[in-house]
Each structure stands twice: as structure tokens, then as C-alpha cells.
Structure 1
């Protein structure tokens, strides 16, 4: 993968932070306030969306059009723009809308950037806790409020029996192959915690969690998180070891040896 030059990356990262600042200003005033919740999935399921999701994506799209009109955009709420552009911003304005509507802070704004289809930059912003995780060209960082950002790293944990596992919900996994694979990993892990959405991946990048196993993800759920986890020292793939850029069944690990062991269990 060819990364943008240092000067190019610096400009792209500055734009990503500005996008996060703008979306934060739109979303935060609406958190833990009465909200109308629409269901995008129809009568057979529940896929919530709020005016905060939609307003934040519109704000992000407006800034991209103004600052980088040659770039493309993939958003959860409004789809694609300029699909042939070499640079594609991949955005989920509120990843974890279920947490958002219940007042839980386990959600975040995901802002990722693809170059020629490869993830080159990722940022996750949690406005309520003032946490922001991001990747630069070679490392990952956490900034909290006005404090100086610090570099984050995954932790060594080669054994499944020592690992801490997270997933957003067991409801992600279809009965049969998916649930069986997840349960094999769960039985071997030391502890499993539910909830988190994008926040779980950032906890992994910061060295607090060792595994995240999920299914049914879209590209906007994962693209921003791949550079954060990988530049902190971890790995992100599909369950069959392929690149995770398009979503699907996802395995993220802080320790490469642990990743290989978890893949074997998922595919036994």
C-alpha cells in the first residue's frame, strides 16, 4: 500500500479533525435529549436513525465538498458521491445509534479515508467523553479534551485463555455457523463484554481489550477503525483472513499470534 506523502497526509489528517469538530458540534447538543427515532429497516427489524445522524452527515459532506471537492464520499445515511475518485471518505456519523438513543456513551463518529481502495487514515470521535482516537502514517493516538494527545498501543496477549473479548451484541450472529464460531472463541476467552460498537475497537487499540468479533458490518462501520487498530499494533481481517475494508464478518486483535488462534476457532 502506498501512503500519501507526509505533507499530503498532514493536510488530510487536519481535514479529518475539522470534520470531527464540525460533526461534534452538531451531534453533542442532541445527546441525552428527547429525540424522534425513525426505523430504516421497516416492520421486520429495527435500524434506528435520528436527526442527529442525518444532520452530522450533511455537515461532514458539506465540508468535504468545500475543502476537497475532488474527493468521494461514502456515508451511511446518504450514500455515495464521486465514486470514481481516488480518495474516498467513508463516514458513519453515529456508529452505535442504539447506544445514542438510550443515553449510553458507547457510540462515536467514524471518519475514514480510502486511497485507491486502501484504508490510509482513520478517526473515531466520542463527543460526550471528549475522546478522539486517530491514526497518523505510522502510529495511533488518543486525545482527551485539551490534554496533550498520547500514542496508544495494543497489548501483548498471545493466549486465548488470557484474552478479553468484546462484541456489540450476540444478536449480530446468525444461528448456525456464525454463532457457533463466536461461541468457540467466547468459551476460550477469559472474559466477554457486550456493547461498544466502534468504541470496542478503540479500547483494543489502547490496550484494554484483546479481541473484537463481529458480523454483518458495512464498510462505513469498519474502514475508519482499521488504520487505528493496525497502527497501534493490531490486526483487522474478515473471519477468513481477507482485508476487512468491505465489512462483513470481522475479527480485530491486539496481538498477531492471538489473531491467528482466533481465526482457527472461528473457522473450525
Structure 2
């Protein structure tokens, strides 16, 4: 007889989650915001290509957040985007860990480096690769969207009461608006997708997963499709979509796990919308 394994349950208490929120807020105040629109050319560098930037703010904020997490959770595995860029093996270590924290210290670095106030901090916790906690923080407004796998997604901010968020209501295909990382996809995938783009009401990209998932979790768009599966971009957002009432899976139907490095992640407002989009986007996986 096949044994059914229990679903992951967040090991984080409410007090620990509050401590993580405060840690991220301090890092933003100390290491990120003072550098916004105040970077010299030598404080900006590239990684995989000219559009993949890293700044002193990314490096300093990641170091501060990582130190703080290890003080709270000494036995946890911690992986940051910048550390993983230097040591890709950290990703697999995080996927295998009973408790791992994944940091994107400045998500939307291109926006940040060009003076655009659309960037954020992403923090996720996973158990054996599956998200159990997510935090999407906006330093400019000082508010955050948060959830764990036992609680609904909600938004809170300094001096403001916490309130739940919800994904959008179901709608016809031609009314759907979405976010698609079209120009980050291979040219052959772009060619397959181009004929279906007119099917939607609106399509765009914010160059910032933090705000893209925040918008999805608050019903501002109906779906999000990405083929770049960096865990620091998606682990928190996938969970927040699900806990806000949405559906988030790999396009081939698998549950999302940070160990998955190839494929497409599709997040949608409900199962019906997800199924409709999967059929429409089938050329991507045929």
C-alpha cells in the first residue's frame, strides 16, 4: 500500500514571523533605501548579462538578512540570490533541507539601479523544497504581504491594521490580464507564444517578481507565467498566490518545488482559469 506523506507545515511561530518582518524592514532602512538613487557606476555590476545587475545594496542587504536569520534559526539552511550566483550548489542544498530560507535582497535590481521605485525584498521559507512561508516587502511604502501554509495571505504595514487579500474573480479569456516574462524566454518559446498574446485583455511585466506577485495576490492581474525558475523569485509568491485563493503549479501539472530548474510556472486566480491557460499555452510543452 502506498503511504501518503503529510503536507509540509510551517515551523515558524507568529513571533518568529514578526521577527523576520522586522529584520527585513531594518535591512531595507539600513542597506537599501540610503543607496536608492545614490549609486555610483562602480557600485553597480553585472552577473549573467548586461540586464542582470547587482549593486552594493543587494550584497549588503543579503548579508544582513542572512546573519539575522541564522541568529533566529541557527540550524537552518540560508540561500541568497547573490550567494547562489557564486555557488550554484546552494540551490540544491536548500531544496534538500528540512528548513531553508531563500532571500532576494533587492528584487527588481534593474529598476532599483535605474532609479525606478518599483523594487522589493522577497523572503521565503521551504521544507524539503516546498514553500511554507512567504514575505513580499515594499521598502518604498513600508508594507508587506505575508502568509504561511496554515494561514491566508494578508497585507500589513507600519501603523496599519492587517487585512486579508484575495486573487481576482474568474472571467472569460478575453477579459484576462496577466504578467508574462516574454522577453526572458528563448526565441523559439517567444515564437510559440506570440500568436496567443492577442487573446488577452492586457499583458505586461514589471521587471520585479515581488510586485508582480503582490499584484496577483491582491487581484490586480489574473495570472502570472514565468520560465525563469529562480527560487528567490517564486518560492514566496507561489505560496502567497495559493493562500490568497489561487492556483500555482508547473505548467505540466507538477506541484512547485525549488528543486525544479526547467519548465514554466503558471499562477492563476482559480482552477478554471489555470486550466484554460494551460490549454492555450500548450505549445510551450508540446
Give the secondary structure class of the aligned counterpart of 1:229: helix
Answer whether contact 2:103 2:122 (CA < 8 A) is retained. Answer: yes
Deviation (angstroms), 1:239: 2.3
Alpha carbon RMSD of aligned pairs, Å?
A: 2.1
Secondary structure at the counterpart of residue 122 of structure 1:
strand
Tell me, yes or no, if the aligned pair for 1:202 and 1:225 is still in contact at 8 Å: yes
Give 1:197 shift.
Answer: 2.2
In the superposition, the TM-score normalised over structure 2's length comes to 0.84
Aligned residue for 1:195? 206
Change (3 A) 1:182 1:239: farther
Q: Give 2:277's aligned residue.
A: 262
CA contact (8 A) 2:168 2:222 kept: yes
Partner residue of 1:115?
A: 127
Distance in 2 separating the partners of 1:61 and 1:9: 19
The equivalent residue for 1:213 is: 225
Distance 1:28 1:45 in 2: 23
User: Post-superposition shift, 1:262?
Assistant: 0.8
Deviation at 1:157, TM superposition (A): 2.0
1:164 aligns with 2:177: yes
Distance change >3 Å, CA 196–CA 140, structure 1 → 2: farther
Out of 238, 253, 272, the position equivalent to 1:241 is 253
Contact 2:177 2:223 in 1 (8 A): yes
Residue 25 (structure 2) aligns with: 21
The offset of 1:196, in angstroms, is: 4.3
Distance in structure 2 (CA, Å) of the matches to 1:124 and 1:56: 15
Pairwise CA distance, 1:250: 2.0
- Where does residue 62 of structure 2 map in the other structure? 57
**Change over 3 Å in CA distance of 1:4–1:182 after alignment to 2:** same
Deviation at 1:72, TM superposition (A): 0.7
Q: Give, in whole Å, the separation in 1 of the partners of 2:249 and 2:195.
A: 18
Compared CA separation, residues 197 and 181, structure 1 to 2 (3 A): farther
Bigger strand fraction: 1
1:188 CA drift (Å) = 1.3
Gaps (5+ residues) in structure 2? 1-6, 85-89
How do 1:40-189 residues align onto structure 2 when only pairs under 5 Å count?
40-41=47-48, 45-79=50-84, 80=90, 83=94, 85-136=97-148, 137-167=150-180, 169-176=181-188, 178-189=189-200
In structure 1, what is the Cα distance between the partners aligned to 2:141 and 2:131?
26
SS of 1:228 mapped into structure 2: helix
- Once the two structures are TM-superposed, the CA of residue 17 in structure 1 deviates from its matched residue by 1.0
Residue 31 of structure 1 corresponds to which residue in structure 2?
36
1:45: how far off?
Answer: 4.4
